[in-house]
Structure 1
Amino acid sequence: MVESDALFELQQDPADTATFAGLARLPLPELMAPDWAAALQGVEAQLRKVLGFLAAEEAQGHQLLPSPSNVLRTFRQPLADVRVLIVGQDPYPTPGHAVGLSFSVDPHVRPLPRSLVNIYRELESDLGVPPRVHGDLSAWTEQGVLLLNRVLTVRAGAAGSHRGKGWEEITTAAVTALASRTAPDGSRTPLVAVLWGKEAEGVRALLDGAPAVTSPHPSPLSASRGFFGSRPFSRANQLLREQGAPDVTWELPPLP
């Protein structure tokens, strides 16, 4: 896929005219990175079914999040580059927040979602990294961190509304593809999973033995029950080093 394709030039821009019906007509290599398109070929029919469902929701006037241009954004990052997987639940249901990357929000969102505030609080406690005023986590993705929601869309204002609509099969295939990668010499490709909450921990069985850092979810409802103090960022880097991979620089730019 060429990054300058018109469909993906805009990220949550009000002028974005892409539609879910339009996405449903595009071949996989135009929807995601070529190696992801190859890895997810086995669930292409399921993806088409989900996109058809979204097109019908769209036609009925429902506001869906994130925007069509961003719904598969996480798969535009090459599969081969991923070394840390962070699993979320489903997109933020507040219009203007969801950008197609779990836990990340549009750079201009204020105030930040409370789960993200708690992630920043733990990052500061763990590594001494000061919290940012913005919630753009794309600098992590540029270093091989895959920010994958278990469910990739939601109706505005209705958290969890697209669970059980087919996304789970697709993200299951994605995690399985990550865990099954091998280097040219046949050795396992470095991978660390960061699993926050019971729903994220449900993918652990798909990891084929890849190491995982687990804790309660950073939501205000559960963060005090073990997320705070779990040190996921330093632990993930340690597990990367044990596999011969470099650390992730978790400190984000002061401004997006």
Structure 2
Amino acid sequence: MQPTFNPSWQFILADEIQKPYFSDLIKSVDEEYQNHSCFPPKELLFAAFDYCSFDDLKVVIIGQDPYHGFNEANGLCFSVNDGIKIPPSLRNIFREMNEDLGTIFFPTSGNLERWAKQGILLLNASLSVRMDSPNSHKHLKWGTFTDAVIQKISEEKENIVFLIWGSFAQKKGAKIDRSKHLVLESGHPSPMSANQGKWFGNKHFSQTNRYLKSKGKNEIEW
């Protein structure tokens, strides 16, 4: 597999994808897909970059790894394909979004392509996973790559909103330059964290839109 990116990302990540570790990563991913059932489909591994160009980027949401059930993952963190039951974490995201924004209708699809197309990078720390085996590709070098992506965004962009949900994402976002970006942190939307009072009431959706508006950017239609 020779990965191709949205041209704006191809330019920004040109040096990174030429590094030896990235070649090793792609080779390891190819072997995993040849020998095991893995998700998302290989052609969607870099979907987060395809839907959201670097030039249009406004918001970054950091997840851990793709859903590991059949036909669930579509290359965007927290997102599932149309027709798939909305997972518990995403259901809690939608619930907080509705309460925060005062909207009436609960989304019927967990497909977050509509967010990505508005300038939200839905980035998992690992971009692939084995079926029925969460975090199974953590040992690959996806983390090195996605750390580099976050660092590039922090360095090259200004006034980006980073939504950091849970301790794992907080570690991934530790080096974001908070003097020129807005970093909003809370607990993870998973039922365990949310039921402990660490998720609901964070009002990240309205805070994101207020910040974007203050910087002269279009608000997100959540």
Whether the 8 Å contact between 1:190 and 1:245 is mirrored in structure 2 is: no
Whether the 8 Å contact between 2:150 and 2:173 is mirrored in structure 1 is: no
Whether the 8 Å contact between 1:85 and 1:147 is mirrored in structure 2 is: yes
> Do structure 1's residue 124 and structure 2's residue 93 form an aligned pair?
no
Pairing 1:1-256 to 2, within 5 Å after superposition: 23=1, 26=2, 31-44=4-17, 45-60=20-35, 62-76=36-50, 77-109=52-84, 111-129=85-103, 130-182=105-157, 189-209=158-178, 210-224=181-195, 225-250=197-222
What amino acid maps onto 1:39 in structure 2?
A: I
Per the TM alignment, residue 92 of structure 1 is displaced from its structure 2 partner at its CA by 0.6
Structure 2: segments with no counterpart, 5+ residues: none
Summarize deviations over 1:96-151 as a string: whole Å, max 9, x none. Answer: 11000001100111x21111111111111101232112111111111101111111
Question: Which stretch of structure 1 is more off in the superposition, 67-76 or 202-211?
Answer: 202-211
TM-score, structure 1 normalization:
0.80
Count residues with an aligned counterpart.
215
Per the TM alignment, residue 41 of structure 1 is displaced from its structure 2 partner at its CA by 2.3
Summarize deviations over 1:232-252 as a string: whole Å, max 9, x none. Answer: 1001112222333221111xx
Question: Which stretch of structure 1 is more off in the superposition, 151-160 or 42-51?
Answer: 42-51
Whether the 8 Å contact between 2:65 and 2:129 is mirrored in structure 1 is: yes
Report the secondary structure of 1:79's partner residue.
coil
Whether the 8 Å contact between 2:209 and 2:219 is mirrored in structure 1 is: yes
Q: State the identity %.
A: 32
TM-score, structure 2 normalization:
0.92
Per the TM alignment, residue 71 of structure 1 is displaced from its structure 2 partner at its CA by 0.6
Question: Which stretch of structure 1 is more off in the superposition, 119-128 or 49-58?
Answer: 49-58
Report the secondary structure of 2:15's partner residue.
helix
CA distance in 2, matches of 1:124, 1:56: 42
CA distance in 1, matches of 2:145, 2:31: 19
Structure 1: segments with no counterpart, 5+ residues: 1-22, 183-188, 251-256
What amino acid maps onto 1:40 in structure 2?
A: L
Give the match for residue 9 of structure 1.
Answer: none
CA distance in 1, matches of 2:170, 2:211: 18
CA distance in 1, matches of 2:193, 2:138: 21
CA distance in 1, matches of 2:131, 2:110: 19
